[in-house]
Amino acid sequence: MKYERIEPIDKTRAKKLLANGDRDAICRTLVSVAMFESDRRSAQSQFLKFARHEDPFVRGVAATSLGHLARIHGAIDEEQVVPVVRELLHDSDPETRGKAQEALSDFSAFLGWDSRKRRKLLAAA
């Protein structure tokens, strides 16, 4: 996917774009939601759903979007997000694993996670 300017998308249009099955539309919409949606929990819910998508590129964008969420909102719901990111760290696709690692770095930087907390959260069952 090439760089393109991301514009805000209203919720109704976002819902349609996310449901249409087109990989590029899904990815652009996920990034737009990450950047512009004020309802953090609603956005997070979408990212968690697409983190389990069949396409590894979509899974990677979902992980990146979770990192954006931490950066923009300064919060995530750890009990929901951490298990999914943990799964992505073991994804069959190396690029997806890399995006999950970048999301963890964002969590550390923007949520104040130290290395001990990060290890503890990732080790939890």
Q: Does residue 94 lie within any of the structural domains?
A: yes
Question: For the chain, what percent of residues have pLDDT higher than 70?
Answer: 96
If one counts the domains in the chain, the total is 1
pLDDT digits (tens, 9 = 90+) for 22-57: 999 999 999 999 999 999 999 999 999 999 999 999
In a domain, residue 5? The reply is no
Q: Within a domain: residue 2? A: no
The model's pTM: 0.92
- Residue-level length of the chain: 125
18 domain residue, yes or no? yes
The pLDDT value recorded for residue 110 is: 96
What is the pLDDT confidence band of residue 16, given thresholds at 50, 70 and 90?
Answer: very high
For residue 55, the domain's CATH number is 1.25.10.10
- Rounded Cα distance between 93 and 80, Å, is 22
Is 4 a domain residue? no
In this prediction, residue 2 has a pLDDT band, given cuts at 50, 70 and 90, of low
One DSSP character per residue, 15-48 reads HHHHHS--HHHHHHHHHHHHHH-S-HHHHHHHHH
In a domain, 6, yes or no: no
- Give me the mean pLDDT over the 63-80 stretch: 97
pLDDT score at 53: 97
List the domain range (segments joined by +) for residue 73: 11-123
Q: What is the pLDDT of residue 117?
A: 83
